[in-house]
Structure 1
């Protein structure tokens, strides 16, 4: 990372109060084909995303977060065949998610991190398997609707779909053994939680709070979760039926079980949580 920040081909203009809209003569509208890292976050830019970014064919990392860019990305983003991370969090994007991703098809083999949280993106979750290198996907606070998770989870290490419009049953999570972060909180998921979730040995963060999940939670749901640090099952209709002599395989930093049924006695297994 030190080498990255020393490179003369990086462009850091975060929180600089850039002119809005970007004028035609501005360097952003030049063909800066050697730039590998561009950061223009936190500038309150509200015009359309400049087409010139698609001419920066060497871009590896692009951060346009916390502006007010409307609509979608330009078709020229298809030229960014080296792009590894794209951060567009907290803008005013309103595109259908599948159409948005079509404009990133040139990054299908390179894109590893995609953050589109805090926008107004619509539609179902499309097939993400076209992004063969994608490891982290952040889509919280959008307007995404039910879909099959089978085309989303494989190969992902982090998936955040907090506060969308996702409904239906909780998917079979064992299709992605590489998951370390899973946040499906504040949606409309229903049904029970399958015991297979306990097989995700690399999972560190699990949040399925504020849904309509129900049923019994037993030791089997946590059997191999030895890496778990954050667990939030709050505001579901879940009943915990845990043996009094059970010793969890994890040490949690944060636990949320509000509105779950734990009684009548205080859970003895919580006494082993020393962090």
Structure 2
């Protein structure tokens, strides 16, 4: 019975979350169209609304740990579900994402991604996508902020293995910026697919920065080791044991 009640609460939560998305988008549109600040306030306000309703309806509490960077840095994050997107974006002062091009055609999300100057890449053309990503990022560097990239290129379920893409290493070299890794356990409570949500504490944690100057191979090894180790630790904290359960994502 308790599982059925939690599923019903999850269904209500997910339904109202997506219902409110276009409402927030429309309410803030007159400001957001003419101001990146307006677009950013809209997205953060919506995210905080989702955090509040997640705690109220399904028992998920959202917690950000570590030192949140304030300057112009590269953020290389673990990605498990829509929740970590909102938590990382809301924590950072002036963030924008590197994302797959298809998202630009998603209602509301796509329009606000454009307003925030997020960098869209074509994942089907790997080499060209990386070069275009670097060019787009460099072209927008006058707008200082935090550039977020998901190094595995997609949402990865807890316990699943997925290689770290070379694009993060290319950006690290080309931009010559500090990189801040981010670990998470949100997928344990808020899965990448499906309706069900589990109560608990969803965490994103900003880890020690990786300063510029490492070789690409050394950087990628350091990044993956730090993010995976901390994410496994956070998942265990949430009641999920990743060891021995790895499989392809």
Q: TM-score, normalised by structure 2?
A: 0.30
Larger Rg computed on CA atoms: 1
Higher helix share: 2
Give the structure, 1 or 2, with the largest relative contact order (CA under 8 Å, sep 6 or more).
2
Higher strand share: 1
Q: TM-score, normalised by structure 1?
A: 0.28
